[in-house]
C-alpha cells in the first residue's frame, strides 16, 4: 500500500520533497529520480533514496511501470510538458508552481485533465495548507460575516539585482493570488497597481514597493502591499474585514522576550522558514489522494486562474493607476 513516487528535478525543492517522503511522511517512498544533471539525481539517490532508480529523462520516469505518481520539481519552463505526460499516463502529478509559464500553457493542462475525466494534478500552492490560513478561513466562514475587504502585505527583506518589477507579480504576489481566491471562495474581476515613491534599494528596473488592488466577483476589494526590500524581515500579513468583524492571519510562533529595554520577538528573515510546515501537509495530502488514483488541493484550474491573474497584474503595473479587467472563463464541472 506504499505509494511509489518519481521525482523529476532534484534541485533544492526536489531534494527537500524527497527527504520529506523518505523520512517524514507516511505511505510513500521515492522509487525514481531524474534531473537534467544526472549527477544531481545520483547525489539525492545516494543521500536519501538508495533504492530509487535514476532515470535519464523525466518522460522516461513518468512512463516507468514502477512509478505510481509524479512530483514535478524541475525548472518552470519544463512543467507543462511533464504534467501533460503524467496526465496522458493517467498518473497523479504534483507540480511545483508555476503550472506553466503562460496562461495558454496552463489552459492546455486544464483541457487535458478535463479530457481525462478526473483530477490528476495538484499545484504546489502550499499556503492553503498553512495552519494559519486554514484557521483564518475558518474564522472568515464562521465569525467575521461575509468578507468585504482584505488588507494584506507581502514583505521581504531584500532581493538580488536581477529582480525586476514584473517578478513582484509572478514570483511574489502569485501566492496571494491563489490563497485569496481560496480564502474568499471568489474570482477576480479587476486589478490595479499603485506605486508610491520607490524605496532607496530599488533600481531602474524595479519599482518597489507597490500596492496591488484586486476586486472580486462578489465585490470584495483586496489591497496588498508588495515590498521586497523592506529590510526588517520576511513578513506576511493578512486581515479580512467582514460584515461583523475582522480576522487576522496569525504571526509565526516566536518567543516573546523582555530584553534590553525592549519587549520583543523575532521576525523571520528567510521566506523558506515561513511556510515550512505546510509543505509536509500538502505532500501528505497528495500522497493520500494519489493512493486512490486522483488528486486534491490546488487544481490545474487554480493554476490557470493564477496565470490569468498574474498577466492582468503585470498589465496593471504597466498601466499604473488604471484598472485592468480580468475575464474569467467558465469553470469546467470537474473543478466545482
Contact in structure between 279 and 126 (CB atoms under 8 Å): yes
**Quick one: 170 or 192, whose CB is closer to its own copies?**
192
CB of 128 to its own copies, least distance (A): 16
In the bound state with its own copies, the residue whose beta carbon lies nearer, of 245 and 329, is: 245
- 117 vs 321, beta carbon nearer its own copies: 321
Q: Which of residues 107-166 bind its own copies (CB under 8 A)?
A: 131-132, 135-136, 138-139, 143-144, 148-149, 151, 153, 157
- What residues contact 144, with CB distance under 8 A and at least 6 apart? 240, 241, 242, 243, 244, 245, 246, 247
Our finding on whether 261 is near its own copies (CB under 8 A) is: yes
Considering only 83-91, 115-123, 266-274, 297-305, which stretch makes contact with its own copies by CB under 8 A?
Answer: 266-274
Are 140 and 212 a contacting pair, CB within 8 Å? no
Q: Which of residues 59-88 bind its own copies (CB under 8 A)?
A: none
Q: Is 269 in the site for its own copies (CB under 8 A)?
A: yes
What does 126-153 look like in DSSP terms, one character per residue?
GGGG-HHHHHHHHHHHHTS-SEEEEEEE
Closer residue to its own copies, CB minimum distance, 117 or 260: 260
| Residue 22 near its own copies by CB under 8 A | yes
204 binds its own copies (CB under 8 A): no
Cα(115)–Cα(109) distance, integer angstroms? 10
276-305 residues near its own copies, rule: CB under 8 A = 284
Residue 295 half-sphere exposure toward CB, CA atoms < 13 A: 33
User: What minimum distance in Å lies between the beta carbon of 107 and its own copies?
Assistant: 29
* b/e map 12-34, b = 16+ CB within 10 Å: ebbbbbbbbbbeebeebebbbbb
Q: Does 246 bind its own copies (CB under 8 A)?
A: yes
Q: How far is the CB of 169 from its own copies (least distance, A)?
A: 18
DSSP assignment, residue 301? H
For residue 18, give every residue at least 6 positions away whose Cβ sits within 8 Å of its Cβ, in sequence order, or none: 7, 10, 30, 33, 44, 48, 49
Show the site string, 25-54: x = touches its own copies by CB under 8 A, - = not: xxx---------------------------
**Strand-strand pairing, 3-8 and 69-72:** parallel
Distance CA 252, CA 258 (A): 18
With CB under 8 A as the rule, give the number of residues binding its own copies.
Answer: 72
Residues numbered 210-239 forming contacts with its own copies, rule: CB under 8 A: 211, 213, 215, 218-221, 223, 225, 227, 230-233, 235
Q: Round to whole Å and give the CA distance between 42 and 50.
A: 9
Q: Find the shortest distance in angstroms from Cβ 140 to its own copies.
A: 9
Amino acid at each position: 500500500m506504499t505509494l511509489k513516487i518519481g521525482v523529476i528535478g532534484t534541485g533544492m525543492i526536489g531534494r527537500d520533497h524527497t527527504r520529506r517522503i523518505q523520512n517524514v511522511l507516511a505511505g510513500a517512498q521515492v522509487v525514481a529520480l531524474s534531473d537534467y544533471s544526472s549527477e544531481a539525481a545520483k547525489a539525492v539517490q545516494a543521500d536519501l533514496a538508495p533504492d530509487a532508480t535514476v532515470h535519464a529523462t523525466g518522460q522516461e520516469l513518468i512512463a516507468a511501470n514502477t512509478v505510481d505518481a509524479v512530483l514535478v520539481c524541475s525548472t518552470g519552463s519544463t512543467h507543462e510538458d511533464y504534467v501533460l505526460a503524467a496526465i496522458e499516463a493517467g498518473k497523479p502529478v504534483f507540480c511545483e508552481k508555476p503550472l506553466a509559464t503562460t496562461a495558454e500553457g496552463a489552459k492546455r493542462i486544464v483541457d487535458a485533465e478535463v479530457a481525462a475525466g478526473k483530477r490528476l494534478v495538484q499545484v504546489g500552492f502550499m499556503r492553503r495548507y498553512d495552519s494559519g490560513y486554514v484557521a483564518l478561513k475558518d474564522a472568515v466562514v464562521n465569525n467575521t460575516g461575509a468578507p468585504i475587504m482584505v488588507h494584506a502585505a507581502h514583505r521581504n527583506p531584500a532581493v538580488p539585482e536581477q529582480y525586476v518589477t514584473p517578478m513582484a507579480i509572478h514570483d511574489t504576489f502569485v501566492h496571494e493570488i491563489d490563497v485569496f481566491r481560496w480564502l474568499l471562495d471568489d474570482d477576480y474581476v479587476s486589478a490595479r497597481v499603485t506605486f508610491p515613491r520607490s524605496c532607496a534599494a530599488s533600481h531602474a528596473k524595479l519599482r518597489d514597493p507597490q500596492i496591488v488592488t484586486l476586486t472580486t466577483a462578489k465585490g470584495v476589494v483586496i489591497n496588498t502591499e508588495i515590498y521586497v526590500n523592506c529590510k526588517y524581515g520576511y513578513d506576511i500579513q493578512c486581515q479580512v474585514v467582514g460584515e461583523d468583524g475582522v480576522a487576522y492571519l496569525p504571526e509565526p510562533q516566536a518567543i516573546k522576550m523582555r530584553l534590553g529595554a525592549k519587549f520583543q520577538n523575532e521576525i523571520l528573515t528567510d521566506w523558506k522558514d515561513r511556510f515550512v510546515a505546510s509543505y509536509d501537509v500538502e505532500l501528505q495530502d497528495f500522497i493520500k489522494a494519489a493512493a486512490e488514483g486522483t488528486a486534491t488541493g490546488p487544481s490545474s484550474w487554480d493554476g490557470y486562474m493564477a496565470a490569468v491573474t498574474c498577466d492582468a497584474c503585470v498589465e496593471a503595473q504597466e498601466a499604473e493607476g488604471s484598472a485592468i479587467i480580468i475575464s474569467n472563463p467558465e469553470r469546467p464541472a470537474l473543478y466545482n
